[in-house]
């Protein structure tokens, strides 16, 4: 385990879960937050912009690992140039300064949305299932483009500094009390609303576990990994959903409500499997 972890975007939904997990594991953490935040379970807080070199250098003091989450979390509320520009600049700044400082491991939040379907600006079809890292990307929005650039940045950082970097392609995130119940109810009423996301999700506590595991992968290097709960957030069987909403997509058969995403790399590289399934009714 690392001696100290810098967590950027530490006041956000996932960042808060990461801080709670690090505190439970007794791993010292530095929280980088854009604005002053209420009491955080850390012994060090740095307030500032993850795009600012001086701020990031200060936040990296004594850290030997980084979990980078600072970003505009979704398109729709900000101009396209802000979404792409700020998100990619923050990722480059944090990883590059970490590499210069000798940090040996980092985890970054990529997104399932990198495939292009969730925020598509035109009709798109899934090339095949299950989804894996070889799936052709069909990007038409700045958020997905920023995530693709983030992953390319991680590859460059690994090559330049030898840092191990894992980019987690995260699905819809929430908790039982915040988001998951509402989305499950929506899919029960209108399962078509989950077509682009293949009804996938992950509890934020599991997202935190996967990010921490990404700091000690089984193989040092640059990796891209999908993580998700093993079953979908929809009550209908996966086969029924795929026959109705992805009828012509090449695929094997999926048992029960199993999510149509390849989760084997997460098990093999990170020894990760979701432990907080939402009870779908």
Sequence-ordered strand ranges (E) for 1-157: 5-8, 29-33, 44-47, 65-68, 105-111
| Among candidate residues 16, 17, 22, the one with its CA nearest the CA of residue 4 | 22
In a domain, 166, yes or no: yes
What pLDDT is stored for residue 261 in this prediction? 98
CATH number assigned to the domain comprising residue 213: 3.40.50.720
Q: According to the model, what pLDDT value does residue 75 have?
A: 87
Is 198 part of a structural domain of the chain?
no
Does the pLDDT at position 161 exceed 90? yes
Assess if residue 191 is contained within a domain.
Answer: no
DSSP state of 113: G
Read off the pLDDT of residues 166-203 as tens digits, 9 standing for 90 and up: 999 999 999 988 899 999 999 999 999 999 999 999 99
Domain count, the chain: 1
Structure confidence at residue 238 as a pLDDT band (50, 70, 90): very high
pLDDT tens digits, one per residue of 65-80: 999 999 998 888 899 9
pLDDT of residue 269: 98
User: Are the CB atoms for 98 and 116 separated by under 8 Å?
Assistant: no
Tally of CB atoms within 10 A around 177: 7
Residue 76 lies inside a defined structural domain of this protein? yes
Closest Cα to residue 216, out of 89, 78, 65, 73? 65
Say if 117 falls within a structural domain.
Answer: yes
C-alpha 123: how far from its chain's center?
24
- Note whether residue 184 is domain-resident: no
On whether the CB atoms of residues 58 and 101 are closer than 8 A, the answer is no
Residue 131 covered by a domain: yes
Domain that includes residue 132, residue range: 5-172+204-228+260-270
Mean pLDDT of the region 59-67: 98
Enumerate residues 6+ apart whose C-beta is below 8 A from 189.
Answer: none
Indicate whether 235 belongs to any domain. no
Checking if the pLDDT of 279 tops 90, the result is yes
Please give the average per-residue pLDDT across 114-137, as a whole number.
96
What is the model's pLDDT at position 76?
83
Average pLDDT value for the chain? 97
């Amino acid at each position: 385990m690392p001696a100290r972890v810098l967590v950027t975007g530490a006041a956000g939904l996932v960042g808060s879960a990461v801080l709670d997990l690090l505190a439970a594991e007794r791993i010292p953490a530095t929280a980088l937050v854009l604005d002053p935040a209420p009491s955080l379970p850390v012994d060090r807080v740095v307030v500032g912009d993850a795009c600012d070199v001086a701020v990031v250098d200060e936040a990296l003091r004594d850290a030997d690992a980084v979990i980078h989450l600072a970003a505009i979390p979704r398109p729709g509320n900000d101009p396209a140039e802000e979404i792409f520009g700020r998100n990619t600049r923050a990722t480059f700044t944090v990883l590059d300064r970490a590499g210069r400082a000798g940090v040996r491991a980092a985890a970054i939040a990529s997104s399932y949305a990198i495939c292009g379907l969730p925020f598509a600006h035109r009709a798109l079809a899934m090339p095949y299932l299950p989804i894996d890292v070889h799936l052709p990307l069909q990007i038409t929005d700045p958020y997905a483009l920023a995530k693709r650039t983030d992953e390319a940045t991680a590859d460059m950082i690994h090559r330049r500094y030898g840092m191990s970097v894992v980019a987690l392609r995260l699905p819809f995130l929430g908790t039982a009390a915040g988001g998951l119940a509402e989305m499950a109810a929506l899919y029960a009423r209108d399962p078509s609303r989950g077509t682009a996301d293949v009804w996938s999700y992950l509890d934020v506590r599991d997202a935190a576990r996967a990010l921490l595991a990404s700091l000690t992968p089984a193989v040092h290097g640059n990796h891209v990994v999908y993580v998700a709960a093993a079953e979908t957030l929809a009550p209908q069987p996966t086969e029924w959903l795929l026959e109705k909403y992805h009828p012509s997509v090449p695929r094997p058969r999926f048992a029960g409500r199993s999510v149509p995403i390849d989760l084997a790399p997460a098990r093999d590289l990170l020894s990760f499997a979701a432990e907080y399934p939402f009870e779908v009714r």
